[in-house]
Chain A
Amino acid sequence: MAGVEKFVEADNAEAIITRIEHKSRKIESLLKQNKPVEALKTALEGSPPMTRDERCKSANWIVVHRALMAIKDVDGMFSSLDPEYYDILMKYLYRGLSTGDRPTCDQCLRIHEKLTERAGLGCILRSLADTVNTV
C-alpha cells in the first residue's frame, strides 16, 4: 500500500510541476505586457504549501521570485494587491530572505517593510508560526 501512496504522491507532484510550468509561461507573458502585479498574483495563486514535495516548493519559489524581482513600484503594487495575498506573500518574503542573495534580500526587505505596515505584526506571526504549510 505504501508503494501505491508514494506513486500517487509522485504523480501528484508531476501534475503540480506541470501546473507551475504553465504558470511560469503565463507570468512571462504578463511581465512582457508590463503587468508585474498581475504576474505576482498569478505566482502566488495556487502555490503548493500543502505538499511535502520539496521539488514543487522550489519550482514555485522560482516562479514567485521571478515575479517578485520584477516589482519596481512597491506602493503601487500594494494599491492593487488584495489582503488575501498578504499571508502567503509574507511567507515567500521570508523564503527570499533565507537565500542570503543580496539583490533578493534587498527587494524582499523593501516589500517586507511596506507589507508590515499594511498587514501588521500578525501577518509576520502567522507566517513564522505556521510550520505545517511552509513554502
Chain B
Amino acid sequence: MDDINRPTWEDVAHRYGRKIYNFAYRLTGNPDDAADLVQEVLLRVRKGLERYEPGSFEGWLWRITRNAFLDDIRREKRRPTSPLPEGDHGHLGSSPSPDEVLAAVRLSDDVQSALLKLPYDFREAVVLCDVVGLTYDEIAEATDIPVGTVRSRIHRGRKMLREMLTWPL
C-alpha cells in the first residue's frame, strides 16, 4: 500500500475506535479494560502500519485487536467475569418511555452477563458477528480459523446464549 492510501493511526482511531471499544467492552464487560485495549491496538497499529501489505485492512486490524486482547488475557490483566458497570444505558432510541428504558437496560445487562459466561471462542465469534458486524470470511481472517468453524461457533454461541437468557424473547 502506498503512503497516500495508507491510513494513519489517527484515521484508524476515528474510523474504528468505537468498534474496537465495543468489541472489547462486550468481551470484558469492563470499560477500563476496553479503553486500555483501544490504546494498545492503536499503539500496535502505529507500529505496524509501515509494514502493512495491501489486503483486507479490516482483517488485519481485527487480527491485531484480537491478538492484543488475548495477550492481555495471557498476562492475566483482565477479569472477564467482572460485573457489568453502570453506563451501558446510552443510545436506546429517541424518547423511549421509562418502562422501555428500564426493560432495555435490564435486557442489555442480562445479555451482557450471558455473553461473559460463554467460552471465549464462542463469545468472540458472536461478538465479532453481531456486535462488530463482520462477515464470516472477515471473522475467519481475523481469528485465523476456517469459515466452517466460524459458522459453528456462532451457531453454538447463540444457542448457549438462548439457554442462559431466562426472560421470554
A binds B: no
